[in-house]
Chains A and B, each alone.
Chain A
Amino acid sequence: MRACESTGHRCGRRLGSLLSLVMLAMLFAALAWGCLTGGAPSSGLGQSVDAALHDSGVESRVTAVLLNYRAYDTLLECFVLFLGVVVVWSLRPYRPQHPDPPIGSILASLVRFLIPLMVLVGGYLLWAGSNQAGGAFQAGAILGGAGVLLLLASSPLLHVLPKVLLPGAICLGPLFFLVVAVGAMVLGGVFLGYRRETAAIVIVVLEAVAAGAIGLSLAALFRGSRPEETSSAQARTDALTQEEGQE
Protein backbone atom coordinates (compact mmCIF):
# COMPACT_ATOMS: atom_id res chain seq x y z
CA MET A 1 0.00 0.00 0.00
CA ARG A 2 2.84 2.35 0.85
CA ALA A 3 4.54 1.70 -2.47
CA CYS A 4 1.83 3.42 -4.52
CA GLU A 5 2.39 6.64 -2.64
CA SER A 6 5.56 7.45 -4.47
CA THR A 7 7.15 10.87 -4.29
CA GLY A 8 5.65 12.00 -7.58
CA HIS A 9 2.20 10.93 -6.44
CA ARG A 10 2.48 12.89 -3.22
CA CYS A 11 3.90 15.87 -5.09
CA GLY A 12 0.94 15.86 -7.48
CA ARG A 13 -1.49 15.73 -4.62
CA ARG A 14 0.22 18.64 -2.88
CA LEU A 15 0.15 20.61 -6.14
CA GLY A 16 -3.57 19.86 -6.46
CA SER A 17 -4.40 21.13 -2.98
CA LEU A 18 -2.21 24.20 -3.55
CA LEU A 19 -4.09 24.90 -6.78
CA SER A 20 -7.49 24.59 -5.07
CA LEU A 21 -6.29 26.90 -2.28
CA VAL A 22 -5.24 29.50 -4.84
CA MET A 23 -8.60 29.21 -6.61
CA LEU A 24 -10.42 29.49 -3.28
CA ALA A 25 -8.44 32.62 -2.43
CA MET A 26 -9.30 34.11 -5.83
CA LEU A 27 -12.98 33.34 -5.32
CA PHE A 28 -12.96 34.99 -1.89
CA ALA A 29 -11.09 38.00 -3.27
CA ALA A 30 -13.70 38.38 -6.01
CA LEU A 31 -16.55 38.05 -3.50
CA ALA A 32 -14.97 40.57 -1.13
CA TRP A 33 -14.41 42.97 -4.00
CA GLY A 34 -18.04 42.55 -5.06
CA CYS A 35 -19.25 43.20 -1.50
CA LEU A 36 -17.09 46.27 -1.02
CA THR A 37 -17.95 47.87 -4.36
CA GLY A 38 -21.70 47.37 -3.95
CA GLY A 39 -22.16 44.21 -6.00
CA ALA A 40 -23.16 43.68 -9.58
CA PRO A 41 -25.55 46.18 -11.18
CA SER A 42 -29.13 44.94 -10.95
CA SER A 43 -30.55 43.33 -14.05
CA GLY A 44 -33.63 45.52 -13.84
CA LEU A 45 -36.19 42.71 -13.70
CA GLY A 46 -37.41 43.87 -10.28
CA GLN A 47 -39.09 46.89 -11.82
CA SER A 48 -40.88 44.78 -14.44
CA VAL A 49 -42.11 42.44 -11.70
CA ASP A 50 -43.42 45.35 -9.66
CA ALA A 51 -45.11 46.90 -12.69
CA ALA A 52 -47.04 43.72 -13.49
CA LEU A 53 -47.76 42.81 -9.86
CA HIS A 54 -51.39 43.92 -9.76
CA ASP A 55 -52.14 41.75 -12.81
CA SER A 56 -50.66 38.64 -11.23
CA GLY A 57 -53.42 37.97 -8.69
CA VAL A 58 -51.10 38.01 -5.65
CA GLU A 59 -49.32 40.74 -3.72
CA SER A 60 -46.08 38.90 -2.99
CA ARG A 61 -43.39 39.33 -5.60
CA VAL A 62 -41.89 35.91 -4.94
CA THR A 63 -45.23 34.12 -5.26
CA ALA A 64 -46.04 36.13 -8.40
CA VAL A 65 -42.79 34.98 -10.00
CA LEU A 66 -43.12 31.37 -8.84
CA LEU A 67 -46.76 30.78 -9.72
CA ASN A 68 -47.52 33.26 -12.45
CA TYR A 69 -44.62 34.70 -14.46
CA ARG A 70 -42.42 31.62 -14.16
CA ALA A 71 -45.04 29.00 -13.25
CA TYR A 72 -43.41 26.77 -15.86
CA ASP A 73 -40.43 26.26 -13.53
CA THR A 74 -42.67 25.39 -10.57
CA LEU A 75 -44.59 22.91 -12.74
CA LEU A 76 -41.35 21.16 -13.65
CA GLU A 77 -40.23 21.20 -9.99
CA CYS A 78 -43.43 19.37 -9.04
CA PHE A 79 -42.66 16.75 -11.69
CA VAL A 80 -39.07 16.39 -10.45
CA LEU A 81 -40.34 15.66 -6.93
CA PHE A 82 -42.86 13.18 -8.38
CA LEU A 83 -40.07 11.43 -10.31
CA GLY A 84 -38.06 11.21 -7.09
CA VAL A 85 -40.93 9.36 -5.42
CA VAL A 86 -41.25 7.03 -8.43
CA VAL A 87 -37.54 6.18 -8.27
CA VAL A 88 -37.58 5.60 -4.50
CA TRP A 89 -40.67 3.41 -4.78
CA SER A 90 -38.99 1.23 -7.36
CA LEU A 91 -36.25 0.32 -4.86
CA ARG A 92 -36.25 -2.91 -2.90
CA PRO A 93 -38.04 -2.59 0.45
CA TYR A 94 -35.82 -2.30 3.51
CA ARG A 95 -36.37 -4.62 6.43
CA PRO A 96 -34.53 -3.75 9.62
CA GLN A 97 -32.92 -6.80 11.24
CA HIS A 98 -33.64 -5.49 14.68
CA PRO A 99 -37.16 -4.21 15.30
CA ASP A 100 -37.53 -0.61 16.43
CA PRO A 101 -37.80 -0.01 20.16
CA PRO A 102 -41.37 0.69 21.34
CA ILE A 103 -42.58 4.27 21.05
CA GLY A 104 -42.07 6.21 24.25
CA SER A 105 -44.90 8.11 25.85
CA ILE A 106 -43.03 11.41 25.42
CA LEU A 107 -42.88 10.97 21.64
CA ALA A 108 -46.51 9.87 21.53
CA SER A 109 -47.77 12.93 23.42
CA LEU A 110 -45.42 15.23 21.50
CA VAL A 111 -46.98 13.97 18.27
CA ARG A 112 -50.46 14.61 19.65
CA PHE A 113 -49.52 18.20 20.47
CA LEU A 114 -47.40 18.99 17.45
CA ILE A 115 -49.38 17.55 14.55
CA PRO A 116 -52.37 19.96 14.78
CA LEU A 117 -49.92 22.85 15.25
CA MET A 118 -47.91 21.82 12.17
CA VAL A 119 -51.04 21.53 10.03
CA LEU A 120 -52.07 24.99 11.25
CA VAL A 121 -48.64 26.50 10.49
CA GLY A 122 -48.63 24.84 7.05
CA GLY A 123 -52.06 26.27 6.27
CA TYR A 124 -50.98 29.71 7.48
CA LEU A 125 -47.82 29.67 5.35
CA LEU A 126 -49.92 28.69 2.34
CA TRP A 127 -52.34 31.55 2.97
CA ALA A 128 -49.63 34.07 3.86
CA GLY A 129 -47.81 33.24 0.62
CA SER A 130 -50.09 35.55 -1.37
CA ASN A 131 -48.78 38.72 0.29
CA GLN A 132 -45.63 37.87 2.28
CA ALA A 133 -43.06 35.13 2.77
CA GLY A 134 -44.51 31.65 2.43
CA GLY A 135 -46.05 29.54 -0.27
CA ALA A 136 -46.71 26.04 -1.52
CA PHE A 137 -43.22 24.58 -1.07
CA GLN A 138 -42.78 25.90 2.46
CA ALA A 139 -46.25 24.73 3.48
CA GLY A 140 -45.60 21.38 1.81
CA ALA A 141 -42.34 21.02 3.71
CA ILE A 142 -44.09 21.63 7.04
CA LEU A 143 -46.74 19.05 6.13
CA GLY A 144 -43.98 16.66 5.06
CA GLY A 145 -42.32 17.19 8.45
CA ALA A 146 -45.62 16.33 10.12
CA GLY A 147 -45.72 13.15 8.01
CA VAL A 148 -42.16 12.25 9.08
CA LEU A 149 -43.15 12.73 12.73
CA LEU A 150 -46.19 10.47 12.24
CA LEU A 151 -43.99 7.84 10.59
CA LEU A 152 -41.44 7.99 13.42
CA ALA A 153 -44.17 7.52 16.00
CA SER A 154 -45.98 4.94 13.77
CA SER A 155 -49.13 6.80 14.65
CA PRO A 156 -52.56 5.30 13.89
CA LEU A 157 -53.27 8.56 12.02
CA LEU A 158 -51.18 7.10 9.19
CA HIS A 159 -54.05 4.81 8.26
CA VAL A 160 -56.45 7.70 7.67
CA LEU A 161 -55.37 7.73 4.03
CA PRO A 162 -55.70 4.20 2.61
CA LYS A 163 -52.49 2.96 1.02
CA VAL A 164 -54.32 2.36 -2.27
CA LEU A 165 -55.06 6.09 -2.54
CA LEU A 166 -51.50 7.26 -1.78
CA PRO A 167 -50.13 7.06 -5.37
CA GLY A 168 -53.19 8.91 -6.62
CA ALA A 169 -52.80 11.63 -3.99
CA ILE A 170 -49.13 12.10 -4.90
CA CYS A 171 -49.94 12.22 -8.63
CA LEU A 172 -52.68 14.75 -8.01
CA GLY A 173 -50.29 17.70 -7.48
CA PRO A 174 -48.40 17.60 -10.80
CA LEU A 175 -51.49 16.42 -12.72
CA PHE A 176 -53.68 19.24 -11.39
CA PHE A 177 -50.95 21.75 -12.23
CA LEU A 178 -50.80 20.35 -15.77
CA VAL A 179 -54.59 20.46 -16.13
CA VAL A 180 -54.61 24.12 -15.03
CA ALA A 181 -51.77 24.92 -17.45
CA VAL A 182 -53.49 23.24 -20.42
CA GLY A 183 -56.85 24.67 -19.38
CA ALA A 184 -55.38 28.18 -19.43
CA MET A 185 -53.99 27.44 -22.89
CA VAL A 186 -57.38 26.24 -24.18
CA LEU A 187 -59.23 29.24 -22.74
CA GLY A 188 -56.69 32.00 -23.27
CA GLY A 189 -54.25 30.69 -25.81
CA VAL A 190 -51.14 30.82 -23.58
CA PHE A 191 -49.70 27.85 -21.65
CA LEU A 192 -50.09 28.73 -17.96
CA GLY A 193 -51.42 32.17 -18.89
CA TYR A 194 -54.17 32.76 -16.32
CA ARG A 195 -56.79 35.43 -16.85
CA ARG A 196 -56.43 38.49 -14.68
CA GLU A 197 -59.86 38.08 -13.02
CA THR A 198 -59.39 34.45 -12.00
CA ALA A 199 -55.63 34.47 -11.33
CA ALA A 200 -55.95 34.95 -7.55
CA ILE A 201 -58.31 32.03 -6.93
CA VAL A 202 -56.49 29.78 -9.41
CA ILE A 203 -53.15 30.41 -7.66
CA VAL A 204 -54.56 29.74 -4.17
CA VAL A 205 -56.23 26.46 -5.22
CA LEU A 206 -53.13 25.41 -7.16
CA GLU A 207 -50.91 26.13 -4.15
CA ALA A 208 -53.19 24.19 -1.79
CA VAL A 209 -53.21 21.10 -4.02
CA ALA A 210 -49.48 21.36 -4.69
CA ALA A 211 -48.67 21.77 -0.95
CA GLY A 212 -50.65 18.63 -0.10
CA ALA A 213 -48.90 16.61 -2.81
CA ILE A 214 -45.47 17.99 -1.84
CA GLY A 215 -46.04 17.10 1.81
CA LEU A 216 -47.12 13.56 0.92
CA SER A 217 -44.18 13.15 -1.49
CA LEU A 218 -41.62 14.27 1.09
CA ALA A 219 -43.04 11.95 3.73
CA ALA A 220 -43.07 9.11 1.17
CA LEU A 221 -39.41 9.86 0.35
CA PHE A 222 -38.57 9.61 4.06
CA ARG A 223 -40.41 6.32 4.41
CA GLY A 224 -38.43 4.83 1.54
CA SER A 225 -39.98 2.01 -0.45
CA ARG A 226 -43.62 1.95 -1.39
CA PRO A 227 -45.94 1.00 1.45
CA GLU A 228 -47.63 -2.33 0.82
CA GLU A 229 -49.98 -4.54 2.69
CA THR A 230 -47.75 -6.45 5.08
CA SER A 231 -49.01 -9.90 4.18
CA SER A 232 -48.43 -9.57 0.42
CA ALA A 233 -45.00 -8.00 0.93
CA GLN A 234 -44.04 -10.79 3.30
CA ALA A 235 -45.30 -13.40 0.82
CA ARG A 236 -43.22 -11.87 -1.97
CA THR A 237 -40.11 -11.78 0.18
CA ASP A 238 -40.61 -15.43 1.09
CA ALA A 239 -41.02 -16.33 -2.59
CA LEU A 240 -37.82 -14.42 -3.43
CA THR A 241 -35.88 -16.17 -0.68
CA GLN A 242 -37.13 -19.55 -1.91
CA GLU A 243 -36.07 -18.79 -5.48
CA GLU A 244 -32.62 -17.76 -4.32
CA GLY A 245 -32.38 -20.94 -2.29
CA GLN A 246 -33.28 -23.09 -5.32
CA GLU A 247 -30.64 -21.45 -7.46
Chain B
Amino acid sequence: MIVSAFDLVLCLTLVWLAWHVLVSPDLFRAVVLFISFGLLMALAWVRLLAPDVALAEAAIGSGLTGALFLSALRRLTPGRRGERRVDRKEGGDDEGL
Protein backbone atom coordinates (compact mmCIF):
# COMPACT_ATOMS: atom_id res chain seq x y z
CA MET B 1 0.00 0.00 0.00
CA ILE B 2 1.49 3.29 -1.09
CA VAL B 3 0.98 6.08 1.38
CA SER B 4 0.98 9.27 -0.60
CA ALA B 5 2.89 12.32 0.57
CA PHE B 6 -0.39 14.21 0.98
CA ASP B 7 -1.77 11.67 3.45
CA LEU B 8 1.49 11.70 5.37
CA VAL B 9 1.44 15.50 5.68
CA LEU B 10 -2.25 15.36 6.64
CA CYS B 11 -1.58 12.82 9.40
CA LEU B 12 1.39 14.75 10.77
CA THR B 13 -0.55 18.02 10.73
CA LEU B 14 -3.46 16.38 12.56
CA VAL B 15 -1.20 15.06 15.30
CA TRP B 16 0.59 18.42 15.58
CA LEU B 17 -2.74 20.28 15.80
CA ALA B 18 -4.17 17.86 18.37
CA TRP B 19 -1.06 18.27 20.52
CA HIS B 20 -1.21 22.05 20.39
CA VAL B 21 -4.95 22.10 21.16
CA LEU B 22 -4.17 20.19 24.35
CA VAL B 23 -1.13 22.13 25.54
CA SER B 24 -2.02 25.67 24.47
CA PRO B 25 -2.33 27.92 27.55
CA ASP B 26 -4.34 30.44 25.51
CA LEU B 27 -7.91 29.16 25.32
CA PHE B 28 -8.84 31.28 22.30
CA ARG B 29 -5.89 29.86 20.37
CA ALA B 30 -6.88 26.35 21.46
CA VAL B 31 -10.41 26.84 20.11
CA VAL B 32 -9.15 28.15 16.77
CA LEU B 33 -6.73 25.21 16.51
CA PHE B 34 -9.59 22.84 17.40
CA ILE B 35 -11.69 24.22 14.54
CA SER B 36 -8.83 23.76 12.08
CA PHE B 37 -8.29 20.26 13.47
CA GLY B 38 -11.95 19.47 12.74
CA LEU B 39 -11.69 20.74 9.15
CA LEU B 40 -8.53 18.73 8.46
CA MET B 41 -10.15 15.71 10.12
CA ALA B 42 -13.04 16.07 7.65
CA LEU B 43 -10.46 16.00 4.87
CA ALA B 44 -9.00 12.84 6.38
CA TRP B 45 -12.46 11.22 6.38
CA VAL B 46 -12.81 12.09 2.69
CA ARG B 47 -9.46 10.42 2.04
CA LEU B 48 -10.78 7.36 3.87
CA LEU B 49 -13.76 7.31 1.45
CA ALA B 50 -16.28 8.18 4.18
CA PRO B 51 -18.03 11.32 2.85
CA ASP B 52 -20.95 10.96 5.29
CA VAL B 53 -18.66 11.13 8.28
CA ALA B 54 -16.73 13.97 6.64
CA LEU B 55 -19.91 16.04 6.26
CA ALA B 56 -20.91 15.43 9.87
CA GLU B 57 -17.39 16.19 11.11
CA ALA B 58 -17.16 19.47 9.19
CA ALA B 59 -20.64 20.66 10.15
CA ILE B 60 -20.99 19.40 13.73
CA GLY B 61 -17.47 18.54 14.88
CA SER B 62 -15.84 21.68 13.57
CA GLY B 63 -18.47 24.33 12.85
CA LEU B 64 -21.10 24.02 15.57
CA THR B 65 -18.75 22.76 18.29
CA GLY B 66 -16.36 25.59 17.46
CA ALA B 67 -19.18 28.12 17.75
CA LEU B 68 -20.24 26.54 21.06
CA PHE B 69 -16.67 26.74 22.39
CA LEU B 70 -16.33 30.39 21.37
CA SER B 71 -19.63 31.26 23.03
CA ALA B 72 -18.63 29.30 26.16
CA LEU B 73 -15.28 31.12 26.20
CA ARG B 74 -17.11 34.41 26.27
CA ARG B 75 -19.19 33.31 29.26
CA LEU B 76 -16.28 31.96 31.28
CA THR B 77 -15.05 34.05 34.16
CA PRO B 78 -11.72 35.64 33.26
CA GLY B 79 -8.83 33.28 33.81
CA ARG B 80 -5.13 34.00 33.95
CA ARG B 81 -3.69 37.35 33.01
CA GLY B 82 -2.95 38.14 29.40
CA GLU B 83 -5.38 35.51 28.11
CA ARG B 84 -7.23 36.59 25.03
CA ARG B 85 -11.02 36.64 25.23
CA VAL B 86 -13.53 36.83 22.45
CA ASP B 87 -14.89 40.19 23.60
CA ARG B 88 -11.35 41.53 24.08
CA LYS B 89 -11.59 42.68 27.63
CA GLU B 90 -9.49 41.66 30.58
CA GLY B 91 -10.50 41.61 34.21
CA GLY B 92 -13.97 42.52 35.35
CA ASP B 93 -16.00 40.13 37.46
CA ASP B 94 -18.90 38.10 36.21
CA GLU B 95 -21.53 37.29 38.79
CA GLY B 96 -23.54 35.11 36.50
CA LEU B 97 -27.01 36.55 36.89
- Which A residues fall within an 8 A CB radius of B? 35-36, 38, 62, 92, 94-98, 125, 132-135, 137-138, 141-142, 144-145, 148, 218, 221-222, 224, 237, 240-241
Contact = CB atoms under 8 A, between A and B. Distances in A.
What secondary structure prevails in chain A residues at the interface with B? helix
A35 B1 contact: yes
B45 to A, nearest CB: 10
Interface residues of B, number: 22
Contacts of B59: 138, 141-142, 145
Nearest to A32: B3
Interface in B57-97: 59-60, 63-64, 67-68, 71, 74-75, 87, 89, 92, 94, 96-97
Contacts of B74: 96
Given A95-B97, A125-B55, A240-B97, A144 B64 contact: yes
B56 interface: yes
A133 B64 contact: no
Contacts of B97: 92, 95, 237, 240-241
A189 to B, nearest CB: 31
